[in-house]
Structure 1
Amino acid sequence: MDLFSPVTVKQSPVVTTPGKNLTGSPRIARDTVADIHNFIQKWNTYHIEGIKIVEAMVNLLPRDLKSSNDDLLDSSFNLYILVEKCSEVIEALELFHERIKALTNLMSEEEILFTTLHLGDMVKHARTIHEAYMKELANKRLVLEHISFVKSVSEAVFLKCLWKYQTDVNRDVRLALEILLVETGHRAIT
């Protein structure tokens, strides 16, 4: 008597058609996941640039000197530009989430496009990523609005930490991205 039955997993179209272009829904999903990853890389670049600017602003305390105020104004403007770029990333992530969600109009959410992940799960992961980065954008805007007007070093350090540590982009968000990358064949299973 067999206690265990073997699990059969459908071959991914990425594996079964090497060297050929994907078409249809798998192509849209795979390209969208690549776009999500690329825009998160842009976000990371802006985030790191912002850390340098925020740290420079914190180092300008106390703000007694005229030159310090000019430097603060320049830094505030540069930080504003970065936050606007982050906002563009969020708009793109929302578009990518909607693009994957639109595939559910063409097929069932229970449909498996690649190997193991249902389309509904792909939508859920894209939403998780989008929502987390939206929360981080709100934090970055908060830093932008308050960093120039802090009254104490502790306030400045708090805002610097709020920018630097991105608490809403946690392990679950990074895992959601990795799942999408592995499922669509962009990242090998290690």
Structure 2
Amino acid sequence: MSSQARSPSIPSENTAGNSPNSLFSPIQVCPTRSPQAGNLTGSARKVKDSAADWHNHVQSWNALSSKGMSIINKIANLKLETIFNSTSSADDEEDSVTRNTFSMPEELETWCKALDTVLEGMNKIVKKLEIVTAALKGVRDLEWHRCVGGAEPLFQTWPIEEFYNASEELLAMFNRELELKTTIVQNVAHVQNRETLMFYTSAWLHQPYIDKNADILIQSMVVETGFR
């Protein structure tokens, strides 16, 4: 789409706009957009790229989450087999002391470092999502300046505000989920009971802060911009 400048309405000879005593200035009208297709430019190009970025970054996040899940399962199994089971015959008080003094297997450190690498990758993805959201905010502000309210659909039915709101909502989800995963990574190797270990494992798997609306929002952006 070629970016269209705001076009002022041209008053006719009989309108008050030609009178020196006119109380009103000619208004600027948003030109109606035709459906976007082919090689896009301007705001439409930036928004379509942002929709693709969201889809691709979330795919990368999901791949890292799956990798992290595999590592956490290895950590959990290692702790269950070599730490918790080794003290199963002791009473509760002795068991607690033994767990605190039991030497950690070398493999545990290896898996913890691997999990740190996964978390680092997730941090980078969230930073990229922040950049995408900031870019959409910039387009939103530009469209609002170009057309009061920015209400004209860029593609099919969504005005720019819908894309920005969706991106902002998604970013909030992934930020909260990143905080949870950071807590899990920092603590999973130091868990002293099976229940907490199982809780961390389940929390990583189910990603409670990324709700089902996330997939709807991403797919809506993809469909709206014509990728599907």
TM-score by length of 1: 0.86
Displacement of 1:73: 0.5
- In the alignment, the residues of structure 2 paired with residue 147 and residue 175 of structure 1 have an alpha-carbon distance, to the nearest angstrom, of 32
Aligned-pair CA distance for 1:167: 1.2
Partner of residue 182, structure 1: 223
Structure-2 residue corresponding to 1:7: none
Per the TM alignment, residue 25 of structure 1 is displaced from its structure 2 partner at its CA by 0.6
Match of 2:47 among 29, 33, 36: 29
- Deviates most, 84-93 or 99-108: 99-108
For 1:67 and 1:34, how far apart are their aligned partners in 2?
48
CA distance in 1, matches of 2:139, 2:152: 10
1:99 is matched with 135
How far is 1:11 from its partner?
Answer: 5.5
The equivalent of 2:35 in structure 1 is: 12
Question: Contact 1:61–1:153 (CA<8 Å) still a contact in 2?
Answer: no
The structure whose RCO (Cα within 8 Å, separation 6+) is larger is: 1
The 5 Å alignment of 1:49-60 reads 49-60=67-78
* Runs of at least 5 residues in structure 1 that lack an aligned partner in the other structure: 1-9, 15-19
Structure 2 counterpart of 1:17: none
Q: Which residue of the partner structure matches residue 117 of structure 2? A: 81
2:165 to 120, 124, 136: 124
Q: C-alpha deviations, 1:31-54, integer Å up to 9, x for none?
A: 111011111110010000000000
Q: Percent identity?
A: 24
Tell me the CA shift for residue 129 of structure 1: 1.1
Structure 1 match to 2:108: 72
Alignment TM-score, normalising by the size of structure 2: 0.72
The root-mean-square deviation of aligned C-alpha atoms, in Å, is 1.7
- Other-structure match for 1:41: 59
CA distance in 2, matches of 1:150, 1:12: 56
Deviates more, 1:105-114 or 1:139-148: 105-114
Aligned length: 173
Aligned partners of 2:35 and 2:60: how far apart in 1? 29
Structure 2, gaps ≥5 residues long: 1-32, 87-101, 145-149
Of 98, 103, 126, the residue aligned with 1:90 is 126
Q: Residue 189 of structure 2: which of 139, 143, 148 is its match?
A: 148
After superposition, the Cα gap between the structure-2 partners of 1:12 and 1:68, relative to the gap in structure 1 and judged at 3 Å, is farther
Give the distance between the partners of 2:103 and 2:63, measured in 1 at CA. Answer: 28
CA distances 1:67-103 after superposition (whole Å, capped 9, x unpaired): 9621110111000000000000000001001101100
- Residue 173 of structure 2 aligns to a residue whose secondary structure is helix
1:111: how far off? 2.9
C-alpha distance in structure 1 between counterparts of 2:40 and 2:194, whole Å: 55
Aligned to 2:176: 135
